[in-house]
A and B are shown apart, each in its own frame.
Chain A
């Protein structure tokens, strides 16, 4: 079941949902809470030697994301004046807020876009919206401008919404009952 704004606030009060800094009341809708855009961003830069084809193979046993990132992913930040995301451009970004879902709290969440940005063509995740029970940290956003117009991103802007769902039980990693450590 999806938590309403009142339940989200109760869960925050009981530290079963942690959002730091705490969102103001204006950040809530009836079933979600908005998160904002951090200034840190990264983008892929494959401009290597001409005529050299670059192919990543995540399925390879030797694949190391950290090495690929080091070689091809550049650090940047959203300046106070903003950052223009060109049509078809893709960046990695993060929420300003740090979130935590204690595993015993029986809460998972989904990050979703906002209709106000979606109608411009802006996506904030690429098929990986789930914030699993036990998550802690800033949420990474995979932002892509699918639309035809240039979109200026501003640090601190409401960029996505978090929708919380109650899990049916406690996941194994937070479970302390008689079936703990049982392997089928």
Chain B
């Protein structure tokens, strides 16, 4: 498990948050998560694989555009 940097906003209901995550190709994706899956400005994710300078992570829920796995820059990963 790892954490991915994100911009956190209020979610559709009190127990949820909206996380905006930058992908390695510069796009912004959004995912609605349980509040407990957010810590500060990071969200819980699972590292699936690595490539030059980027990491494939699986998010705890599907993004609003329909993806579970996204590539993020290595610098967006926070350990612990």
Contact = CB atoms under 8 A, between A and B. Distances in A.
B12 A92 contact: yes
Interface residues of B, number: 29
B13 A58 contact: no
Contacts, number: 65
B74 interface: no
Contact of A137 (B16, B30, B66): B16
Interface residues of A, number: 27
Contact of A138 (B16, B46, B64, B66): B16
B12 A69 contact: yes
Given A65-B30, A66-B30, A174-B46, A136 B37 contact: yes
Nearest to A63: B65
B48 interface: yes
Contacts of B68: 132
B6 interface: no
Nearest to A138: B15
A166 interface: no
3 shortest interchain CB distances as A-B pairs: A173-B46, A137-B34, A65-B64
Interface of A: 40, 42, 58, 61, 63-66, 69, 73, 92, 94, 98, 103, 132, 134-138, 140, 172-174, 181-183
30 contacts: A40-B14, A63-B64, A63-B65, A64-B64, A65-B30, A65-B64, A66-B9, A66-B64, A69-B12, A98-B34, A132-B61, A134-B60, A135-B60, A135-B61, A136-B36, A136-B37, A137-B15, A137-B16, A137-B36, A137-B61, A140-B12, A172-B46, A172-B48, A173-B1, A173-B46, A173-B48, A181-B47, A181-B49, A181-B50, A183-B56
